[in-house]
Amino acid sequence: MPIRLLPETLVNRIAAGEVVERPAAAAKEIVENALDAGATRIEVVVRDGGRSLISVTDDGCGMGPDELELAVERHATSKLPGDDLLDIRTLGFRGEALPSIGAVSRLTLTSRLRGSDGAWQLTVEGGAKGAPAPAAHPPGTRVEVRDLFYATPARLKFLKQPRTEFEHVQDTIERLAMAHPDVAFTLSDGARTVLRLNAGEGRLARLSALIGRDFADNAVAVEAERQGVRLSGHIGLPTLNRATAREQYLFVNGRPVRDKLMVGAVRGAYADVLARDRHAVLALFLEIDPQEVDVNVHPAKAEVRFRDQALVRGLIVGALRHALAQAGHRASSTVAAATLEAFAPRVEPAPFPAISGAAARAGTGSPAGGPVYRQAWEWERPAPVRPGLAEAAREFQAPLDLGSAAPSARTPVPAVRAAPGPGEAEAGPGAGAEPERHPLGAARGQVHNTYIVAQTADGIVIVDQHAAHERLVYERVKDALIEGGVRRQMLLIPEVVELDEPSVERLARRSDELAELGLCLEPFGTGCVVVREVPALLGQADVQGLVRDLADELAELDEALSLRERLDAVCSTMACHGSVRAGRPMNLDEMNALLRQMEATPRSGQCNHGRPTYVELKLSDIERLFGRR
């Protein structure tokens, strides 16, 4: 077939497919325009998941009739004073959003310039642009998108249920609101307001309103700067984690992004305090010279590319690890909340009177003598209740078997090691520890030779002795590595690894850094490297696999992650086997010494696998459990 030029309307619809993937994308583009216009208040209304209506009203600078006409033309924008695509200081810059939306919907723009006497309105229907007409509107702009994708029916088939699409819109608005706490946001579905955020709340208050109150209570502030790149925000303690990375909010120059480099840096920073299948909760804001980052990677503008990736990654990893270390032994309050929930008694619902199967079949079980429904068969046996602490409490409350001197089998006696009483041997200086002087209190006993119970000034602390000591040993092993370097083990027969030429060059360029980590290699002919020494910690290492993994990660992230992670994993294993085991009796001096070391050790609130090392219960919470409050 001969080559031909496509019609302008078809070209616009093809372009719209890249920019407007779903209603949330259209809402994002319009709200970003409002933010670029200097708005301090933005109201969003979304009906039918965005299919029937998306309305965005702002109090920004507004537009006149001439600007309205240009605004719906492709590649017309006020946000690029020059022609440098690397000097972008606004959220929008491509000039594609409004014309793309107008090509697939019924678009209405109503705007009034600040200080102007009247407003103007312009409509675009399926790409056909009308003429500006006078209208009534306060200073600012209102953009209404009706019947989205009516001009491209095939796209409608790929949309999810209205509720799902609305949730995507809400997530988009929330991300933009996090980056602009000085702007008030309102989101409604036409019947109810689901989001109302006031201006000037402050960043942490805005994050708490969107992520949850638990985040504010368990967040650590991050502030760091390196070579003109500034990182700020708040990160959750490791014990405040989620099953997915959905609650990791990353921003570059106020723009929400989903960047692999930043996500990988976060994972690296939490590597030794979080389980691999869990994800941290955080919001990070990176401010960088626009010349050092390319945001023109994709029309959706959710991806970025940094000129100096190593600088950005190093800044994020270093800042997050420093912030977590500064948090000391803190564990999130959600751990205590989960503990209290486990202690809460579970009241079984009173069952209906039992009805025998014969009565049910005869129809005599119901008051009216009619048929008995199937549920009556099930009333004969109460539904099983998940066993928990409430069941154990009922066992303790059961009547004692006074006919025997031995304790009843129904009343188990817990194994508790407590301080010696009068007349017994002295327990040493640990017995007189004052709980008011220490954050983790003074040890009072050991339960089942596994858990230390300590008294604080206003509550109690229960410590998992193995998990706590494992973290202490792990930190000491890492400190020893830093001070003394990584010990190397020379291979009896050097290992030759075949790679492609670019990978060999990348490894050769970073050979000095790899040697500091204990891996000594050098180019060996064409497309090969020879490995002469490996870290002694790794033992019988898979040298071929290790080098290939390093080459792949250097190509993607310019960072030798595999070696660091493997060294950390070996240190973790050593710490696990070298720490106090569960079931080992400890005296009060040992317990208090462990508590004091925890208070002085960074990240001791969680073990190497991300589990909490202790649970703190306030006295007020305990009193509520017993009905004293």
Residue-wise pLDDT tens digits, 569-624: 656 765 676 677 788 899 999 999 999 999 988 888 888 777 888 988 888 888 88
356 pLDDT exceeds 80?
no
Q: Which amino acid is residue 434, in one-letter code?
A: E
Q: How far is CA 540 from CA 37, 529, 533, 546, in A?
A: 61, 19, 12, 12
Mean pLDDT for the stretch of residues 123-132 = 90
Which residue do the tokens 């209906």 mark? Answer: 352
335 pLDDT exceeds 50?
yes
Lowest mean pLDDT among 60-64, 105-109, 200-204, 567-571: 567-571
Residues 281, 215 contacting (CB under 8 angstroms): yes
CA angle 305, 248, 189 (to 5 degrees): 105
Residue 336: predicted pLDDT: 64
Of 174, 183, 252, the C-alpha closest to 215 is 174
Which residues contact residue 498 at a Cβ distance below 8 angstroms, ignoring those fewer than 6 apart?
Answer: 527, 528
Going from the N-terminus, what domains does the chain have, and what CATH number goes with each? 8-197 (3.30.565.10), 212-327 (3.30.230.10), 432-629 (3.30.1540.20)
For CA atoms 126, 127, 133, 136, the dihedral sign is: positive
Residue 375: predicted pLDDT: 37
Residue 32: predicted pLDDT: 92
Residue 476: predicted pLDDT: 79
Residue 437: predicted pLDDT: 80
Of 340, 175, 174, 329, the C-alpha closest to 237 is 329
What is the spatial distance between Cα 13 and Cα 103, in angstroms, rounded to a whole number? 6
Extract the tokens encoding 549.
């993994």
What is the spatial distance between Cα 318 and Cα 236, in angstroms, rounded to a whole number? 16
Mean pLDDT for the stretch of residues 287-314 = 86
401 pLDDT exceeds 50?
no
**Structure confidence by residue, pLDDT tens digits, 221-274:** 999 999 999 999 999 988 888 888 999 999 999 999 988 889 989 988 888 788
Residues 280, 241 contacting (CB under 8 angstroms): yes
Extract the tokens encoding 446.
């050991």
13 pLDDT exceeds 50?
yes
% of the chain with per-residue pLDDT over 90: 35
Lowest mean pLDDT among 141-150, 155-164, 275-284, 414-423: 414-423
Residue 234: predicted pLDDT: 96
Band the pLDDT of 340: cuts 50, 70, 90. Answer: low
342 pLDDT exceeds 60?
yes
386: three-class secondary structure by DSSP: coil
Band the pLDDT of 167: cuts 50, 70, 90. Answer: very high
Residue 563: predicted pLDDT: 66
Residues 251, 284 contacting (CB under 8 angstroms): yes
Of 59, 78, 302, the C-alpha closest to 183 is 59
**Structure confidence by residue, pLDDT tens digits, 492-511:** 889 999 999 888 988 888 88
204 pLDDT exceeds 80?
yes
Residues 389, 340 contacting (CB under 8 angstroms): no
276 pLDDT exceeds 80?
no
Q: How far is CA 576 from CA 467, 472, 475, in A?
A: 8, 10, 12
Which residues contact residue 456 at a Cβ distance below 8 angstroms, ignoring those fewer than 6 apart?
Answer: 435, 438, 439, 440, 441, 616
Extract the tokens encoding 79.
């946000």
Mean pLDDT for the stretch of residues 438-450 = 90
Mean pLDDT for the stretch of residues 114-143 = 92
Extract the tokens encoding 62.
């507004």
What is the spatial distance between Cα 410 and Cα 402, in angstroms, rounded to a whole number? 12
326 pLDDT exceeds 80?
yes
Mean pLDDT for the stretch of residues 156-167 = 91
Mean pLDDT for the stretch of residues 212-224 = 90
Residues 414, 421 contacting (CB under 8 angstroms): no
